[in-house]
Amino acid sequence: MFSIKNIHFEISERKTILRLFDVLFVLTALYLTGIFFNFDYFVISVSNYYWIIVLAIYINAFGTIFEMYNLQVASNQFQVLKSTLITVSTTVLVFLLTPIFSPQLPSNRLQILLFFFVTFSALIMWRMLYVKFLASKRFFQKAILICDQEQVKELVRGLENIDPHYKIIGYVNTDFSEENTSELQYLPHINKADMFSFVRQNGKVEIVIASQKTDGITTDLYQQLLHLLESGNIIREYAQVYESKTQRIPVQYMSRDFYRFFPFSRSNHNKLYLIIVRIVEIAISIVGLVVGLFLVPLILLGNTIGNRGKLFYAQERIGKDGVIFRILKFRTMVQNAEKNGAVFTSIDDVRVTAFGKFLRKTRIDEFPQFFNIIKGDMAVIGPRPERPVFVKEIAELMSFYETRHIIKPGLTGWAQVNYAYGETINDSLIKLQYDLYYIKHRSIYLDLNIAIKTITTVLFYRGQ
């Protein structure tokens, strides 16, 4: 029988709901305002349909930039208020300043204030309803893990951190003996014999098989899985769930024959896609270099005051197919920063000067790399190019690491917009997972997503 407790939404479904109802609530509020109040700036009619389209595009575009469709933000009341205020302010301002696609500016300035107030009120009301209702526990997607006991903590953290609406409610230990299985403080253990009844008691539950020991899936457990599948429960392999939730490739749970798990994106060999991307890269690089030239006098001044020494620095990096090239950047560290040898840069690295930190946070230090892009050493989007000394060190520990060299390194990338600075080998592993996800799913849509997230990174001063 249909029950509300059996309803849950995937990440993509939640984002679609947010985008759709953002627009519906705003348009409905503006329509009702036009009926009950003296508001004629934004009149909804068949003849003015393009106003609706433009406003919907602005709401979705600026909402994306200001993280309104980030589920962690959308589930937090304070962050919702902040992102909604910034999004509405930008949307209204841009809408007012594009009269070709929007109504002419009204003579009565109160109309503008009313337009802003109604748009903001409609959006914030819908978003608070989402937080209270759709983001509540009643719509959580429940799951149980079938795995080895030592994996549990890491597996749960990997899934729940990325999706606040995904709840692991128990685990089945696939070790040969369950005698030493302990109840974890944060997660109950389910005996293999009791799994079917446990799932029945908790309604619709997703079963995630994460065990790498195939012998742990006994005949009895296999039969229970079949019964659960027949009962309408979803059974998925952990790597599949992990990839869809985190948008990373879980290389730590794959054997060396990784090519079985992810065929590389066809876009990597699609001539039309590559030609279009190359044309866009050259256009962006020319604009970037022109903007960089205008910034040089200010950078020279800042460099003289707070970052004394050479303006530029060049460094060897690994490019496509493992070819070494020299990357060009504005210098952000003290001179002779590596007199004691090469080390990873940390978040609060004392070698980075005060002005250098500003250049990094705003990504201005990377403007000279547009020259590398025009030369063909780099792309606008791709894995960040790493130094040969670090590549050698990391590749010895990670068998998949050099896979990232099958495409050009990028000025920005999926790892850069989704993860903080890589200070350790473990950080490099996580960034590698993002890089492999990009290589697997490379497309114009993902490129646009990265471009928007890069804008967000710069606007919120999150550069590395």
Strand 410-412 and strand 324-330: pairing? unpaired
When pLDDT is averaged across residues 443-454 and rounded to a whole number, the result is: 92
Domains of the chain: 4-134 (no CATH), 140-246 (3.40.50.11060), 266-459 (no CATH)
The overall average pLDDT reported for the chain is: 84
Q: Mean pLDDT across the stretch 262-278?
A: 81
Per-residue pLDDT tens for 360-371? 888 888 999 999
Q: How confident is the model at residue 19 (pLDDT cuts 50, 70, 90)?
A: very high
Top-confidence residue, 141 or 451: 451
Helices (H), 130-237: 152-160, 195-201, 219-230
The answer to whether 123 and 26 are in contact (CB under 8 A) is yes
Residue 179: its pLDDT value, please? 54
Across the range 199-203, mean pLDDT stands at: 84
Sign of the four-CA dihedral 32, 38, 41, 46: positive
274: its two tokens: 């590559």
Q: What are the structure tokens assigned to 251, written together?
A: 């290389």
Between 253 and 2, residue with greater pLDDT: 253
For residue 299, give every residue at least 6 positions away whose Cβ sits within 8 Å of its Cβ, in sequence order, or none: 311, 330, 359, 364
Helix (H, G, I), strand (E, B) or coil at 379: strand
Q: What is the mean pLDDT of residues 33-42?
A: 85
Model pLDDT, residue 346:
63
Is residue 140 helix, strand or coil? coil
Region for 236 from its dihedrals, namely left if φ exceeds 0, alpha if ψ lies in -120 to 50, beta otherwise: beta
* Alpha-carbon gap, residue 178 to 55, rounded angstroms: 59
Rounded (10°) CA dihedral 246, 410, 456, 14 = -30
Residue 176 has pLDDT above 60, yes or no: no
> 132-136, 324-328, 426-430 — which one is most confidently predicted on average?
324-328
β-partners of residue 171 are 145, 189
Dump pLDDT digits (tens) for 64-79. Answer: 999 899 888 888 889 9
Instruction: Answer for the pair 106, 59: CB distance below 8 angstroms, yes or no.
Output: no
Which has more pLDDT, 239 or 447? 447
Average pLDDT estimate for 155-177? 77
* Stretch 218-237: mean pLDDT: 84
Q: Which pLDDT score is estimated for 263?
A: 60
Residue 143 has pLDDT above 80, yes or no: yes
The whole-number average pLDDT for the span 314-333 is 91
Strand-pairing partners, residue 144, are 170, 207
What's the pLDDT tens digit per position in 180-200? 555 556 688 888 888 888 888
Provide the pLDDT confidence category of residue 1 given band limits of 50, 70 and 90. Answer: very low
Express each pLDDT in 398-414 by its tens digit.
Answer: 777 888 898 999 999 99
Where do the DSSP E strands lie in 88-243? 141-147, 166-173, 206-209, 235-237
> Could you tell me which of 109, 104, 122, 108 has the C-alpha nearest to residue 48?
104
| pLDDT interval class at 383 (50, 70, 90) | very high
